[in-house]
Amino acid sequence: MTKLWLVALLLLSSLRVSGQEKTVTLDDLMESADQWAKENLDDEALRALENVDREKVKRFFSDIEKQFRSQYVLDLAALKDTATVVLPLLESAEDTQPYAAWLKARLDYLDVADQFRQILPAPKAVPGQPPKPVPNPAPQMEREIWVKKLADRPWPEAAKAYVPRLKPIFAAQKVPPELVWIAEVESSFDRRARSPAGAAGLFQLMPATAKRYGLRTWPLDHRLRPEASARAAASYLADLHGRFKDWRLALAAYNAGEGTVQELLTQRKARTFDAIATRLPAETQMYVPRVEATLARREGLKLSQLRAPGG
């Protein structure tokens, strides 16, 4: 019951943040809290918040997950200051350090969203109409700003040990070995990283995806084993590329899901990432150019230059 009350508070705060004006009773919140928690927050995340400010952290988890899934990139900028407050809370307790690792790997998204907020002009106001949101940045603008963002970024310390070990695993799955750098974007090569929605490990595999590629998540979570998670991630990427025939689309599907990408391609009668980019979830709009910029920084390669072993 305590968990439901906390989730009810989280729901209420989320409704206030989004500006909804609908009257919601406590009974309404309690009735939907259990289902909301099952769909959005990992049980382990809830249990881990015993020794931190649970209300503050859970509200932040709710907001960042909601904004990552929403369409508007600039909305993420509003979470930048809160993230700086929440991160030390997560780092302060051993049980929540995996969530701190997940958040640290995503602070760049909030920084870049804030940069876009400052440089993109607001749409011209129309008298008598509500203000329109600032349009999402074009894919090419995203690519340019991510290249600048990562231009002087040194290797994550853990990458020095992991990259040589994991590249042969990717190659064995007929996937360009340079794509091991996805782990920098997903987790900064911290194998402990865990998202509030339940993704885990270097490559942030969700439980269903992990099981699909032969990994157990209980009683021992094989996603936390670098070689095992690399093998599953590489296999998944190989399947996605086989389906979409394009690395940008494959990466978008890795982040947002195959169904989301395919639905947009069908709706817009499109064949490329750029044709659907601004309609993808906000995180995915930035994820793909961030991976591209990471590959350019670490390997001096463009996605178009990747070659699968034996291909």
Lowest mean pLDDT segment, chosen from 124-133, 136-145, 286-295: 124-133
Each residue of 105-120: pLDDT tens digit? 999 999 999 999 999 9
**pLDDT recorded at residue 87:** 95
For residue 301, what are the β-bridge partners? none
Helices and strands (H and E) in the chain: how many = 16, 0
Enter the tokens of residue 244: 């979409």
Largest CA distance in the chain: 61
SS3 216: coil
Each residue of 261-279: pLDDT tens digit? 999 999 999 999 999 999 9
**pLDDT recorded at residue 12:** 37
Burial class of residue 95 (count of CB atoms within 10 Å of its CB; 0-12, 13-18, 19+)? middle
If one compares 22 and 250, the residue with the highest pLDDT of the two is 250
In a 13 Å sphere around the CA of 87, the CA atoms on its Cβ side amount to: 13
**pLDDT recorded at residue 19:** 33
Residue 7 confidence class, pLDDT cut points 50, 70, 90:
very low
Each residue of 18-60: pLDDT tens digit? 333 333 333 443 344 445 445 566 767 656 666 566 788 888 9
Q: In 111-134, which positions are buried (b, 16+ CB within 10 angstroms) versus exposed (e)?
A: ebbbebbeeeeeeeeeeeeeeeeb
Percent of the chain with pLDDT over 70: 83
Percent of the chain with pLDDT over 90: 73
What average pLDDT is seen over the chain? 87
Q: Which domains does the chain have, with CATH numbers?
A: 1-17+25-40 (no CATH), 155-305 (1.10.530.10)
Each residue of 156-192: pLDDT tens digit? 999 999 999 999 999 999 999 999 999 999 999 999 9
Contact residues for 126 (Cβ-Cβ < 8 A; gap 6+): 132
The rounded distance, in Å, linking the Cα atoms of 228 and 233 is 9
Contact predicate 250/241, CB 8 Å: yes
Whether the link from the prior residue into 226 is cis, omega within 30° of 0, is: no
**pLDDT recorded at residue 8:** 40
Q: Is the dihedral of CA 16, 21, 26, 30 positive or negative?
A: negative
Q: Which amino acid is at 196?
A: P
pTM above threshold 0.95 = no
Contact residues for 271 (Cβ-Cβ < 8 A; gap 6+): 246, 265
**pLDDT recorded at residue 49:** 60
How crowded is residue 106: how many other Cβ atoms within 10 Å of its Cβ?
A: 23
The rounded distance, in Å, linking the Cα atoms of 11 and 5 is 10
Cα torsion at 64, 71, 292, 61 (round to 10°)? Answer: 10
**pLDDT recorded at residue 233:** 98
The rounded distance, in Å, linking the Cα atoms of 60 and 160 is 32
Residue 2 pLDDT more than 90? Answer: no
